[in-house]
Structures are given as structure tokens and as C-alpha cells.
């Protein structure tokens, strides 16, 4: 069974991810314009007509910027919890009733061959969720905005074969950077974002043979670089004596452009 993961854009300027088999796909978040989503998918020969729905993690603009137009133009359903819907609709985002699908936390549902489960993460939106998506034997977990990894969240991340996890800021760059104190505090808080070291230590704790591919996601433009995120992870692994090589891979997802498609059949 063919399965691909494709990051169209990842970071505080916009998030959108695609998971698809040879017939259908789903999107996770629509934080870039609908036109860009269409174009980036077309670049890899994916038609929006094969997309069966959009999963929404929370109401921050970098996750819903293109949602309204995307749903309207393509008559797509979008899936998230009642609380997240409420927070989106109060922002005067105009979404037709026909497109709204309410899902419950920690309750699997089935769409286009995928088993999908939303799980809670700690972040400063009315509610924020991650998605655990299974297709056959393969498991993908996406958790892009979270201040820390609590006990409810961790099991979903530990289960993944492909894990898309936030590595938002380099701790030193944030500390020495120009952001006002209140903003630094918000980012570092338990309901803000994950730093490189925080993510690396968590990954070193959970690493196992079934984790085939790590994607570091949602990197900050001002407080991180892809090199720093990768180096921190590699250093943490080497300090722990972890040899993450061979068939196991690490990708750093690009901020405003797509990252090369990941084919999960290579494992
Ligand atoms: Zn975000
Ligand atoms: Zn957010």
C-alpha cells in the first residue's frame, strides 16, 4: 500500500501537510492560501479533487489562513473538535455548515482509508489537537504546536513510524533575540512552543526501531535555523549513545515552501 507524506509549508508563517495513498489524501491544516495549496499539490501531480477532507489543529492564523476559500472552492469537509470550531467561527471565518464535521478527542474515525484520532496538546489556543493517522500498518503522528509534552500526548508520539514534531526555537537565540520579554515567556511556557533541546531530549527518550522518520516542524523564522535544530538533535543523540542511522531518517521541514515528499513504502 502506497503512502506519502508531503509538507507544503511548516512554521509560524503557515502550516499545511498532506498524507495520501494512490487514491485519496487528506490535509492537515490550511495555514497558507488556497491558491498555494492547489499549486504546491499540483507540483507533485496531486489534484485537490482527490483530497477528502481537512483536519484542523487549532484556530491560530498560521493553521487556518486558507481554510475558508479552500473549503468553499472545493466543497471539502473539515474536521476538528466542537471547541476548535467555536474558536474558528468566532473569528468571523465564514464556513458553510455543510463543510463542518465535529470530531471527539481520542475517538477514532475513518476517512478515505485512514483511521484518524485527534489527541490533546498543550498550547495557548482555546483547544489544540494533534493527529494520529493510521493506514494499514503505518502510523503517522503530527504535533506542531505544543509547549510541553504531557502524559496524555506522549503515547501518540511514541507510537509513530513517521513523527512530525515541533522544534520551534533555539533556546539561546530566543534568549538573546529581540523579542519582548512577555513574548519570550509565552513561547517558552508550557502552553507555547517546543524548543530544539526540549524536542531532542524527548526524542532521545522515545527512540525505537519502529520510528523510521523524524520530521522537525514549525521552526521559528527569527529564533531558529534548520542547522541549529538538526545539530541539537544530533548532539543529544550522540551524548546518549543513540545511533540513528541506516534506514532511519531525519528531515527538517521547510518554512514557506514544500519539503521533498516522503514515501513511507521505503521502510
Ligand atoms: Zn502554529
Ligand atoms: Zn499555534
Q: What is the pLDDT of residue 175?
A: 96
- Indicate the number of domains in the chain: 1
Confidence at residue 129, expressed as pLDDT on a 0 to 100 scale: 98
Who's near 199: CB < 8 A, 6+ residues apart? 165, 166, 167, 216, 233
Q: Tell me the CA–centroid distance for residue 237 and ligand 2, in Å.
A: 28
Which ligand is closest to the CA of 187, given by its number? 2
CATH at 169: 3.60.15.10
Cβ atoms of 11 and 218 within 8 Å: the answer is yes
What is d(CA 259, CA 9) in angstroms, rounded to the nearest whole number?
Answer: 8
Q: What is the whole-number distance in angstroms between the Cα of residue 63 and the centre of ligand 1?
A: 6
- The whole-number average pLDDT for the span 232-240 is 96
- C-alpha 265/C-alpha 129 separation (Å) is 27
Centre of ligand 1 from the C-alpha of residue 129, in Å:
11
Average pLDDT of the chain, as a whole number: 96
Within 22-126, where are the H helices?
A: 34-43, 61-64, 67-74, 82-89
Identify the nearest ligand to the CA of 142 by its number: 1
- The confidence score (pLDDT) of residue 34 equals 98
Ligand 2 centroid to 149 CA: how many Å? Answer: 15
Listed residues: CB within 5 A of ion ligand 1: 62, 145
Q: How far apart are CA 200 and CA 171, in angstroms?
A: 12
| Cell 498524507 belongs to residue | 19
Averaged pLDDT for residues 192-197: 97
Contacts with 192 (C-beta within 8 Å, 6 or more apart), sequence order:
123, 124, 147, 186
Nearest ligand to the CA atom of 123: 2
Q: How far is the CA of 31 from the centre of ligand 1 (A)?
A: 9
Range of the domain at 190: 4-266
**Confidence tier at 267 by pLDDT (50, 70, 90):** low
Distance 218 CA to ligand 1 centre (A): 7
Amino acid at each position: 500500500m502506497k503512502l506519502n507524506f508531503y509538507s507544503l509549508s511548516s512554521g509560524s508563517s503557515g502550516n499545511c501537510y498532506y498524507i495520501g495513498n494512490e487514491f485519496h489524501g487528506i490535509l492537515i491544516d490550511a495555514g497558507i492560501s488556497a491558491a498555494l495549496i492547489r499549486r504546491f499539490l499540483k507540483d507533485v501531480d496531486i489534484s485537490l479533487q482527490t483530497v477528502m477532507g481537512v483536519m484542523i489543529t487549532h484556530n491560530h492564523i498560521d493553521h487556518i489562513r486558507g481554510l475558508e476559500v479552500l473549503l468553499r472552492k472545493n466543497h471539502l469537509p473539515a474536521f476538528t473538535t466542537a471547541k476548535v470550531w467555536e474558536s474558528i467561527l468566532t473569528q468571523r471565518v465564514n464556513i458553510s455548515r455543510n463543510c463542518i464535521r465535529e470530531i471527539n478527542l481520542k475517538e477514532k474515525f475513518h476517512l478515505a482509508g485512514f483511521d484518524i484520532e485527534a489527541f490533546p496538546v498543550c498550547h495557548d489556543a482555546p483547544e489544540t489537537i494533534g493527529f494520529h493517522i493510521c493506514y494499514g500498518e503505518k502510523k503517522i503522528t503530527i504535533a506542531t504546536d505544543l509547549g510541553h509534552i504531557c502524559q496524555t500526548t506522549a503515547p501518540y508520539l511514541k507510537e509513530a513510524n513517521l513523527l512530525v514534531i515541533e522544534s520551534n526555537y533555539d533556546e539561546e537565540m530566543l534568549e538573546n533575540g529581540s523579542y519582548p520579554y512577555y513574548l519570550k515567556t509565552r513561547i517558552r511556557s508550557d502552553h507555547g512552543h517546543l524548543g530544539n533541546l526540549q524536542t531532542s531530549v524527548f526524542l532521545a527518550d522515545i527512540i525505537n526501531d519502529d520510528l523510521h522518520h523524524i520530521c522537525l516542524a514549525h521552526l521559528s523564522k527569527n529564533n531558529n535555523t534548520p542547522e541549529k535544530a538538526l545539530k541539537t538533535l544530533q548532539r543529544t543523540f550522540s551524548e546518549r549513545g543513540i545511533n540513528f542511522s541506516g534506514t532511519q531518517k531525519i528531515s527538517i521541514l521547510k518554512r514557506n515552501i514544500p519539503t521533498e515528499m516522503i514515501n513511507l513504502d521505503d521502510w
